[in-house]
Amino acid sequence: MRLEKLDSCAVSDALDALNLPGSVIGLKKVWDCGRVVGRTVTVKLIPKKPDAISHRHLGTSAVEAANDLDVVVVDNQGRLDCGAWGGILSFASKEKGIRGIIIDGACRDADECREVELPVWSKGTVARTARNRIVEHSFNEEVQVETVTVSPKDYVIADMSGVVFIPSKHADEVITKAEQIYSKEQAMIKDIKAGKAITEVMGKNYETMLEGGNK
């Protein structure tokens, strides 16, 4: 996958250059995991009404539907008062080979995520259960992560800098642009290693590196 050779910053810059949304603010690694790249399987959670009955545990259908190319994306509207993902889901995800979990909300059982080496990004961690607080509304339908709309089978890249989504219909142009940006950055680094002054290298290239052509 071409995206695996890039980082979130180059992809975010590419989205900016193409006037597309995708970069999410406020999600961080739950533990010191590596970079994750994959296709999205989505889960939408909603507050549980007093008389509502949950017919399945949140996240389970997404785990069953996902494969080793996928990242599960959970929309819990940024809630931090209860966990939108937990340890048993993490163990099951690892068994399926799922690449990682992105949560617009809180994760619980963070130690177990680390124990099974499942990469997770979230807005925070919490011990409080989801029981009687939230339920699953749907999976593999359009969701919202912060201000970014995410559809099933979109692309996502997550690393130390953050989380960035790429709409599947724009994937080729975004990745191509990100590759161009990455190449320009590598050329600038090469110039610095060759002894050129940082003021010369960045003054000439940095402000135009998101533009087209070979500027």
With beta carbons less than 8 A apart as the criterion, state whether 24 and 176 touch: no
Q: What phi, psi does 158 have (nearest 5°)?
A: -135, 130
pLDDT tens, N- to C-terminus, the chain (215 residues): 899 999 999 999 999 999 999 999 999 999 999 999 999 999 999 999 887 666 789 999 999 999 999 999 999 999 999 999 999 999 999 999 999 999 999 999 999 999 999 999 999 999 999 999 999 999 999 999 999 999 999 999 999 999 999 999 999 999 999 999 999 999 999 999 999 999 888 875 566 666 654 33
The CA radius of gyration of the chain, in Å to the nearest whole number, is 19
The burial of 115, by beta-carbon neighbours within 10 Å (0-12 exposed, 13-18 middle, 19 or more buried), is given as middle
Task: Specify the pLDDT at position 112.
Answer: 97
With beta carbons less than 8 A apart as the criterion, state whether 85 and 102 touch: no
Q: What phi, psi does 20 have (nearest 5°)?
A: -115, 145
Instruction: Take residue 159 and report the two structure tokens written for it.
Output: 């690393």
Instruction: Take residue 177 and report the two structure tokens written for it.
Output: 């642009």
Q: How far is CA 18 from CA 162, 184, 211, in A?
A: 19, 17, 9
Torsion sign, CA atoms 75, 78, 82, 83: positive
Closest CA to 130 of 53, 45, 30: 45
- Specify the pTM: 0.91
